[in-house]
Amino acid sequence: MAMKSNSKKLNGSSALRRMAPYLMLVPALVVIFIFKLFPMVSVIGESFMRDGEFTFRTYEILFGDRTFWQALWTTLKMNLVMIPLQIVLSFILALLVNNVIKGIGIFRSIYYLPVTMAISVAAITWDLMANYNSGVFNSIISFLGFEKQGLFTDAGQALWFIVIMATWKGCGMWMMYILAGLKGVDTSIYESAKLDGAGYFRTLFSITLPLIKRTMLFVVVANTSANMLLFAPMKLITEGGPQNSTNVLMYEIYKSAFRNGNASRAGAITSILLLIVLAVVVIQFRMLNEKDND
Amino acid sequence: MKLRRLLSGLLMAAMCMSLTACGNEAEVAEDTDSEVSEESAGEEGGGETVIHLMMSNSQEIGVSAAVEAFNEAYAGEIRCEADYISFNDVFETLEVLMSNQSTEYDIFAADGPNVSAYVNRGYLQPLNEWISDDEIAMFTDSMITEGTVDGQFYGAPMGDSSLVMYYNTKLLEEAGIEIDFDAVTPDNRLTWEELVGYAEQALSVLDPDGNNGIYGIEFQQVGRVYQMNVLANSLGGAQISENGLSVDGVINTDPWYEALEFYQTNVENGIFTRGIGATDTSNYFQSGKILFYLGTTALPATFEKNGFVDYGYTYVPCFEGHESDVRTSCGSWTIGMNVYSEKQEAAAEFIKYLTLYDGADVYIDASGMVPALSRQFTDELKAEKPFMEMAEYEALNTSLVRAVTPAYNEYNTAMDAMWDNVRNGADIKESVDNCIAELTTAFKEYE
């Protein structure tokens, strides 16, 4: 009898133990469902609704809309330049601040400093600095004897100036992640490589990069998601202009939803952007995992 | 050991503070509950009903005076609490709230041209239940048109608007320029070309190297169709097609190209400003950085508040050879009732007070806006505010209503961008074509 009761107790506690991880995950899953999955499904659903009826009309209008295609191209063009640029720069910065020399902490702090600034504050500050009449950039340009530049107000320069601003703002953070990865590499491996006669670049490409691949995967995926959804500079500085040159999909979504009250169009563009980010991230995962399998 | 004690002390302090915070929260919650019950009780009969108003901060001077007067007149019955949202955010805030069927505000500011769009989206409650036809007839005709959609009256106008050309007397004096403003009449206006000439002359004296940041001419609402379109309209250009759903064949016409060319050339020549936003131009004018300044009649109230006195005003200029085509802006904020409001009776009482009766007088007196009620154009008003005579003339003879379209937000956004692009040196034809393409797609949603 006593044995039966003990075994029951054991069964009960082992069931509880098995359930424990799932129970602990419940709060996180609930939050993810409410704040991530539900809005996603809701937005996708919204894109097929017009006047309370299910329809493909929104997508029909959207695919015939020149502004949408321009915004899509601007988003892709910007990210094709910005993502590699940020990752390469962050990697170089991480390598630099990984050196053990006196006062390196000061440099790490300086490079990280822009991250601590709110994106809205950074955008407004850069807008002031780039002002055509009184901005510091144009003062320097004029002082050097060149013609004043439109910067955020020039259709040919605005997007690339946003790329520069976002890179300045973002690189410090990605640098820190990569630095953490670099710190995790056993220094004895570098010593062995040195003894075997490997040069700096050979060590970098054959040892360092493969060993921090997991960190790099995270950085690449997180950077892609963050940059594809970049919005604040377009909202606060350029309002999608000049000549729609900075009108990315995120800004088009904002305009549709909050200025024009067109939830259906905003939902449709959001769904498309979601698919694009998903596709890019899946490709990135596959490429990095393939190398892992090799 | 000391560190551990210090940490324990900090933890205790943090705990006490969080408990205090909880206590305050509870008090706040209680307060909120009592306010809610008081508000509900008020509408059902009993206590004071609290209604909430959302207004653009551009109207704060006039509306806050009227709200204060209302709260005094209705003390113990209805109390209005107003939030003044920045002009740049007011439209978006409204979209966010109303698309979520919010009851946060019982009454909100609806810019005249947007009334039709808000009705289309189901945000506004018709006011005919509370405002009789006789009362509606008290408004000027153009204001009734702006507030009416499909025969129902939705937007009660607080005031109308009109433009005058302000000039900085001190700058003109310093530049040694004398203009006989007394000779300027509706039939003998200054021309834009003359103004550019005076500006060039003044800048050659006041800012020959361009280092003092002084400009010749500027629009108060630079980059916004409300005022920028005046240039094209004064050359014979229309706002939009007759059915309100096309700009093709409207803005790609000679008057528009000529107006855009005039504007761009003079921005490039430093006559008009570049890189200054609409919210900042007034400060530039008041600080003596702009010579001629096209603005609304509401500005003197701001000038007075800020102690700025070095200004005069005259009629809106015309273009040479287009003396009889001159057009001026009109229309203003209306006030509408949230269709989801649970305090519609009290809200209607406030709307009537602010737009038809005592509140309307307080508003016009404090704001300097042009009256929307025929009875308010009195000799007394014109004697007190001489610019009202000009405003009255323009309102009756040269005013052109803004584009009448259910897609006014889209129109506004695309056209503002076009003016901005031209200001920033973009190719004019390309800017116009982009604007047409964007709006053609946007209008499809309403066809």
Nearest to B53 by CA among B102, B96, B106: B106
Whether chain B has a CB inside 8 Å of the CB on A124: the answer is no
Please name every residue paired with B156 in a beta bridge, in sequence order, or none if there are none: B335
The verdict on a CB contact (< 8 Å) between A132 and B275 is yes
pLDDT of A8 reads 61
Of A195-204, B14-23, B82-91, B100-109, which range is least confident? B14-23
Percentage of residues of chain B with pLDDT beyond 90: 62
CA of A131 vs chain B CAs: smallest distance (Å): 6
Whether chain B has a CB inside 8 Å of the CB on A50: the answer is no
Mean pLDDT of A59-83: 93
Looking up tokens 């909050």, which residue turns up?
A: A258
CA of A259 vs chain B CAs: smallest distance (Å): 6
Whether chain B has a CB inside 8 Å of the CB on A145: the answer is no
The pair phi, psi for residue A142, each rounded to 5°, is -65, -40
Positive or negative torsion for Cα B274, B278, B283, B289 = positive
CB B337 within 8 A of CB B347: yes
Nearest to B310 by CA among B285, B278, B330, B333: B285
Q: Does A219 have pLDDT greater than 50?
A: yes
* pLDDT, tens digit, 9 for 90 and up, residues A183-202: 999 889 988 988 888 888 99
> What is the ipTM metric for this complex?
0.70
Q: Does A209 have pLDDT greater than 50?
A: yes
Which CA distances in Å does A259 have to A262, B16, B70, B335, B407? 8, 45, 32, 19, 11
Q: Does B180 have pLDDT greater than 80?
A: yes
CA of B341 vs chain A CAs: smallest distance (Å): 20
The verdict on a CB contact (< 8 Å) between A242 and B442 is no
Mean pLDDT of A116-122: 93
Nearest to A261 among B99, B274, B421 (CB): B99
CA of B229 vs chain A CAs: smallest distance (Å): 19
Residues of B with CB under 8 A from a CB of A: 91-92, 95-96, 98-99, 117, 121, 213, 273-276, 407, 409-410, 413, 417, 420-421, 424-426, 430-431, 434, 437-438, 441-442, 444-445
* pLDDT, tens digit, 9 for 90 and up, residues A90-99: 999 999 999 8
The verdict on a CB contact (< 8 Å) between A259 and B275 is no
| B102: chain A residues, CB-CB within 8 Å | none
Region for residue B300 given its phi and psi (left: phi exceeds 0; alpha: psi -120 to 50; beta: otherwise): alpha
Q: Which residue of A has its CA nearest to B424?
A: A153
| B91: chain A residues, CB-CB within 8 Å | 259
pLDDT of A12 reads 67
Nearest to A261 among B95, B431, B438 (CB): B95
Alpha-carbon gap, residue B230 to B241, rounded angstroms: 17
Give B140's pLDDT tier (boundaries 50, 70, 90). confident
Alpha-carbon gap, residue B97 to B88, rounded angstroms: 16
* Helix H or strand E encompassing B443: helix B428-444
| A55: chain B residues, CB-CB within 8 Å | none
Nearest to A153 among B91, B99, B275 (CB): B275
Nearest to A155 among B91, B99, B426 (CB): B426
Higher pLDDT, A49 or B46: A49
The verdict on a CB contact (< 8 Å) between B441 and A66 is yes
Percentage of residues of chain A with pLDDT beyond 90: 61
The verdict on a CB contact (< 8 Å) between A150 and B424 is yes
Mean pLDDT of A238-242: 87
Give A161's pLDDT tier (boundaries 50, 70, 90). very high
CB B225 within 8 A of CB B405: no
Give A3's pLDDT tier (boundaries 50, 70, 90). low
Please name every residue paired with B56 in a beta bridge, in sequence order, or none if there are none: B85
Pairing of strands B78-85, B49-56: parallel
| A64: chain B residues, CB-CB within 8 Å | 441
| B96: chain A residues, CB-CB within 8 Å | 258
* pLDDT, tens digit, 9 for 90 and up, residues B185-206: 999 999 999 999 999 999 999 9
The verdict on a CB contact (< 8 Å) between B421 and A66 is no
Q: Does B347 have pLDDT greater than 70?
A: yes
Mean pLDDT of A227-243: 91
Alpha-carbon gap, residue A255 to A237, rounded angstroms: 15
Alpha-carbon gap, residue B49 to B177, rounded angstroms: 58
pLDDT of B29 reads 40
Give B43's pLDDT tier (boundaries 50, 70, 90). low
Nearest to A241 among B96, B417, B445 (CB): B417
The pair phi, psi for residue B84, each rounded to 5°, is -105, 110
Nearest to B121 among A64, A135, A261 (CB): A261
> Six-digit token pair at A155?
């259709």
Give B170's pLDDT tier (boundaries 50, 70, 90). very high
Q: What does pLDDT average to over chain A?
A: 89
CA of A163 vs chain B CAs: smallest distance (Å): 20
The verdict on a CB contact (< 8 Å) between B91 and A257 is no
CB B349 within 8 A of CB B74: yes
Pairing of strands B156-157, B78-85: unpaired
Q: What is the end-to-end Cα distance of chain A in Å, rounded?
A: 58
The verdict on a CB contact (< 8 Å) between B417 and A239 is yes
| B276: chain A residues, CB-CB within 8 Å | 133
Give B46's pLDDT tier (boundaries 50, 70, 90). low
Of A152-166, B326-340, B346-360, B394-408, which range is least confident? B394-408
CA of A152 vs chain B CAs: smallest distance (Å): 10
Please name every residue paired with B166 in a beta bridge, in sequence order, or none if there are none: B293, B313
Alpha-carbon gap, residue B53 to B344, rounded angstroms: 12
pLDDT of A10 reads 57
| B213: chain A residues, CB-CB within 8 Å | 133-134
Q: Which residue of A has its CA nearest to B409?
A: A260
pLDDT of B233 reads 97
CA of A114 vs chain B CAs: smallest distance (Å): 25
Q: What does pLDDT average to over chain B?
A: 88
* pLDDT, tens digit, 9 for 90 and up, residues B4-27: 555 455 544 444 444 334 434 334
Whether chain B has a CB inside 8 Å of the CB on A243: the answer is yes
The pair phi, psi for residue B226, each rounded to 5°, is -50, -40
Q: Does A247 have pLDDT greater than 90?
A: yes
The verdict on a CB contact (< 8 Å) between A153 and B274 is yes
Mean pLDDT of B109-127: 91
Mean pLDDT of B304-319: 95
pLDDT of A285 reads 81
Nearest to A259 among B276, B413, B434 (CB): B413
Mean pLDDT of B422-427: 91
Residue B38: count other Cβ atoms within 10 Å of its Cβ. Answer: 15
The verdict on a CB contact (< 8 Å) between B92 and A258 is yes
The verdict on a CB contact (< 8 Å) between A133 and B274 is yes
Q: Does A2 have pLDDT greater than 70?
A: no
* pLDDT, tens digit, 9 for 90 and up, residues A170-179: 999 999 999 9
Nearest to A133 among B98, B213, B444 (CB): B213
Q: Does B96 have pLDDT greater than 80?
A: yes
B-proximal residues of A, 158-197, CB under 8 Å: none
The single-letter DSSP state of residue B87 is H
Higher pLDDT, B77 or B368: B77
| B426: chain A residues, CB-CB within 8 Å | 155, 242-243
pLDDT of B185 reads 95
> Would you say how long chain B is, in residues?
447
The pair phi, psi for residue B78, each rounded to 5°, is -130, 140
Q: Does A291 have pLDDT greater than 60?
A: no
> Six-digit token pair at B144?
């009734």
Residue B429: count other Cβ atoms within 10 Å of its Cβ. Answer: 11
Alpha-carbon gap, residue B95 to A255, rounded angstroms: 11
Please name every residue paired with B109 in a beta bridge, in sequence order, or none if there are none: B335
Of A54-58, A165-169, B233-237, which range is least confident? A54-58
Whether chain B has a CB inside 8 Å of the CB on A255: the answer is yes
**Using DSSP, how many helices (H) and how many strands (E) does chain B show?**
18, 14
